[in-house]
Structure 1
Amino acid sequence: MALLDSNIVEQLKGYFDKINANIELAAFLDDSEKSKELDSFLKEVDAISEKVNYVKKSFENDKADLDRANITRPTSFTILKDGENTGINFSGIPGGHEFNSFILAVLGLAGLGKKLEGDQLSKVESVDKPLNVETFVSLSCTHCPDVIQALNLISTYNKNITVTMVDSAVFFEEAKEKDIQAVPVVFINGEQKSVGAKTIEELINLIANV
């Protein structure tokens, strides 16, 4: 059964045809049902346009690629542009409200989205140490996409910043261990730094002052 609506596919064809870079979606999968679902989802995205391509990898066997992408969970994928890691990852399937976050990340990497400038850009570029930013979300959360989209945009301006959307429902045990009771929750290098809705200005200041 198709996961993507035919009307959405037609709209995406129009957007993807404007992409002037090689966008690759590299997924790291195991034998779980959720990994199989992610595989099906990314195959459907791959079929939309030759500009966006899907590569299936093994969570168990492709350790070097996992390390380069800074991915620690199966059922995850990273976005590459012209063969280079972009620092934008998704753990789980970006459906529901997060589907737009995924599509906007792809288009943003191709230069078709929002841009940072001025003081915001200076602050992001000033980050000189590796930051692993993980945001736990619910796909039904209406505040989560704003945070995910802002962090995805931030990461494109600094190779030191890796950002990951984590679906709390897929990684329920981890969310439980972290005592996550409301979303979105932002962790930076393993430490909880933010809970709830945040503006891009607030997120930039948070990242710049870690």
Structure 2
Amino acid sequence: MQSVHSTAINKTIRENDGRVIRMMFTTSQQDAIRTRLADLARPVVIKFFETSLDCPTCPEIRRLLQEVADLSDHVTLEVYNLYTDDEEARRYGVDKAPAIVLTDEQGENYGIRFYGAPSGYEFATLLEDIRMVADGASGLSDTTKARLAELKHPVDLKVFVTPTCPYCPAAVRLAHQFALESPLVTASMVEATEFPEWANRFNVYGVPKTVINDSEAWSLEGAAPEAMLLEQVMQTQA
């Protein structure tokens, strides 16, 4: 797939009436995104939670998501205010902005979240997650699926990333696969530079870092393979 990393995307085009509009994607990048989202099995809704207070990246993220939605007939963007739409935020467990939640057309909560901009390498993760939600299949091994079915208690995964980290998408993608597979798992990408207090709380000095159930005892540094993350998750059930 052609690279569509959003950090290097900005193109100005002029409409017939002379107005200048700044686009996030070049024409070739639009074509690549349109192709990637062309054959979705079912509609996907991007729920974006923003605030006008202390969220300098919210307008840019909103524009990015709108352009993605405009490139597919099967993707819809819904925008909410974190504070005035607090009931919707509570429904999806969102308590910070900017935040992105992916659902199906009925609003099913799969526990898949992005805190911060899905920029740089993470933009491809967003596209892959949209496809995963549309397909309704995690793509995990049968062994992992069987063991996740044994979960008795909720599991929360936070994967700290930065836009320039080439190893982070694999960690985020795996966590989101776990969330789609099990209703007891929630998984959030956290952009460390946008949420420094959160990153400091969990001693994030390198990325990716996965924190399980807000405990340093269950943290994993680096892009852990599926079996390793599974073992850590299952140990939380003891």
Q: Quick check: 2:100–2:115 contact (8 Å CA) kept in 1?
A: yes
Q: Which has the larger radius of gyration?
A: 2
Q: In 2 relative to 1, CA 113–122 (structure 1 residues): closer, same or farther, beyond 3 Å?
A: closer
Counterparts of 2:99 and 2:148, CA distance in 1: 25
Runs of 4+ in 1 over 4 A off after TM superposition: none
- Corresponding residue of 2:230: 204
Q: Secondary structure at the match of 1:33?
A: coil
Deviates more, 1:118-127 or 1:159-168: 118-127
Report deviation, 1:20.
Answer: 2.3
Deviates more, 1:152-161 or 1:63-72: 63-72
Counterparts of 1:106 and 1:171, CA distance in 2: 24
- Corresponding residue of 1:38: 61
Unaligned runs of 5+ in 1: none
Matches within 5 A, 1:9-158: 9-31=30-52, 32-83=55-106, 84-111=108-135, 115-158=139-182
Q: Quick check: 1:123–1:205 contact (8 Å CA) kept in 2?
A: no
Counterparts of 2:114 and 2:226, CA distance in 1: 19
Counterparts of 2:47 and 2:74, CA distance in 1: 14
Deviation string, structure 1 residues 185-210 (Cα, Å, up to 9, x no partner): 11222113212221112112211221
Counterparts of 2:91 and 2:162, CA distance in 1: 26
Q: Secondary structure at the match of 1:110?
A: helix
Q: Quick check: 1:70–1:162 contact (8 Å CA) kept in 2?
A: no
Q: In 2 relative to 1, CA 112–133 (structure 1 residues): closer, same or farther, beyond 3 Å?
A: closer
Counterparts of 1:5 and 1:105, CA distance in 2: 22
2:28 matches 1:7: yes
Q: TM-score, normalised by structure 1?
A: 0.93
Q: In 2 relative to 1, CA 113–8 (structure 1 residues): closer, same or farther, beyond 3 Å?
A: farther
Q: In 2 relative to 1, CA 113–12 (structure 1 residues): closer, same or farther, beyond 3 Å?
A: farther
Q: Secondary structure at the match of 1:127?
A: coil
Counterparts of 1:116 and 1:196, CA distance in 2: 19
- Corresponding residue of 1:194: 220
Counterparts of 1:5 and 1:153, CA distance in 2: 30
Report deviation, 1:179.
Answer: 2.5
Aligned residues: 210
Residue identity (%): 19
Deviates more, 1:71-80 or 1:193-202: 193-202
Report deviation, 1:113.
Answer: 7.2
Q: Secondary structure at the match of 1:53?
A: strand
Counterparts of 1:4 and 1:128, CA distance in 2: 44
Q: TM-score, normalised by structure 2?
A: 0.83
Deviation string, structure 1 residues 62-110 (Cα, Å, up to 9, x no partner): 2222122122211011001122112110001111111111111111112
